[in-house]
């Protein structure tokens, strides 16, 4: 896991995406999904400042590139922080020890299933945020 408060996902030409930027507990299975969304988001921000492999000047220097990288982080940090929180919470509930833990876990999931909360939590990560 990586704390959500770490909000610096780039330094110079090095840019973090996926688990290297925002590793989270595995209980929602969002690693690959979020990495793909990061890549799409990053490419859109870089395209806005004219950075591409075919451009004559493909260096990531300058204020425009820095602004694009900060924009990427600002756009992606809130949704992945929320998913990390949700995944951590579910992990705590799923791994409660003993018979009391089993009772709490089973009734928690029964309740969120019947109230319609479960699909909201599990589908939240599947919705594209880019």
Domain total for the chain?
1
68 contacts 48 by C-beta, under 8 angstroms: yes
Phi-psi region of 50 (alpha: psi -120 to 50; beta: other; left: phi over 0): left
CATH number at residue 17: 3.50.50.60
Residue 2 lies in a domain: no
55 falls within a domain: yes
Residue 1 within any structural domain of the chain: no
Residue 4 lies in a domain: no
pLDDT interval class at 116 (50, 70, 90):
confident
The domain in which residue 18 lies consists of: 10-126
Q: Which of 2-16, 33-47, 54-68, 92-106 has the lowest mean pLDDT?
A: 54-68
Domain membership flag for residue 5? no
Q: pTM for the complete prediction? A: 0.81
Q: Three-state DSSP class for 10? A: strand
Q: What is the pLDDT of residue 2?
A: 65
């Amino acid at each position: 896991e990586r704390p959500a408060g770490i909000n610096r996902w780039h330094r110079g030409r090095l840019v973090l995406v996926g688990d290297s930027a925002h590793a989270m507990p595995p209980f929602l299975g969002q690693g690959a999904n979020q990495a793909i969304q990061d890549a799409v988001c990053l490419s859109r921000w870089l395209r806005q400042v004219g950075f591409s492999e075919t451009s004559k000047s493909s260096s990531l220097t300058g204020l425009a590139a820095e602004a694009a990288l900060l924009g990427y982080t600002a756009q992606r940090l809130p949704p992945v922080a929320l998913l990390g929180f949700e995944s951590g919470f579910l992990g705590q509930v799923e791994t409660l020890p003993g018979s009391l833990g089993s009772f709490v876990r089973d009734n928690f999931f029964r309740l969120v299933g019947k109230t319609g909360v479960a699909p909201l939590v599990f589908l939240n990560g599947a919705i594209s945020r880019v």
